[in-house]
Structure 1
Amino acid sequence: MIRHEAAESLPVREALPSLAGALDAHGASVLVAPPGTGKTTLMPLALAGLWGAGPARRVLVAEPRRIAARAAARRMAWLLGERVGGSVGFTVRGERAVGRDTRVEVVTTGVLLQRLQRDQELAGVDAVVLDECHERHLDADAAAAFLWDVRETLRPDLRLVAASATTDAEGWARLLGGAPVVEA
């Protein structure tokens, strides 16, 4: 049972059509939205086709910290009226809650970096969201660089979203090859 009232109250929903258009046209985008607007929770569900209209996709959401990864997965599962490990799961160092039907997986940037080292193409993944991209650290910067390289050389169909409330949006847009900036 999807909690429509809770999802409808998130302001980022108004920016989702613009984000979808930017990704369709450019394959990458920067989403800037204040805290609490749904950029971490509703936007990945929409990208995966779990909320609103859209094709079914597999989405990885990279969070800078384990506690944020777990919390984001719990909130998304709650919005869908499910338990973590169903349509939404998470993987952090030492803990994994995913299932065969998982379409949104929240991971730490360290886990994402390890996956990129094992499987450069990220087979089976349609989109990657770098959440809280303003939190700069080695894992996040390396993952962003690898993702851009993967998109440019191996997987031009891989969609990339850099999301934050306080990031240098124009800097990330340049980093992502002139990606459009969408604000909520």
Structure 2
Amino acid sequence: MNTILKRFLIVSSLYLLAPSVGALDLGNKLDSGGVLMPEDAVKVSGEASSLVTSLQDHLGVTRTQAAGGAGALLQLAKSQLGASSFDNITDKVSGLGSLLGGSGEQSNNLLSSALSNISSMDDVEKAFSALGLQSSAIEQFAPLVLNFLKGQGVGQEMLGNLSSLWMPESSA
């Protein structure tokens, strides 16, 4: 497991065990952005910003959770489909690199580090858990991300590949 992610999980666990009244309420900590990453530290550019906003609106998640969840799914696609295939997606949708922490923004370094080693659905589940999301949230994120990419002109074949990758049981 990525060293940064391990440290992050340890610090988050310690914070939750702190002897303060609000320390046991992870939902409030995520809403305030204090545990994982401040909401204003999540820099999303281009059309990817509307994806993050859509995920927030439809799923009731924080900006950090929306960007991190979408980023985890996209990082899995990048690692499984290869850089050249993934470039076909990023060529159609501006700002997707910022969801992977690849925008060059220093504030996205934590997001980039947390997502850099995702190469399996198990890794995606771990990322969702680190964001304070249930693994079942993947089933809610994936169709919204796919629909967004379809609206941006990503081809049907690529959407099928992504669907198989992100929702393997439903594509069989």
| Common fold by TM > 0.5 | no
More strand by share: 1
Task: Name the structure where helix makes up a greater proportion of residues.
Answer: 2
- Give the TM-score of the pair, scaled to structure 2: 0.33
**Higher RCO structure (Cα 8 Å, ≥6 apart):** 1
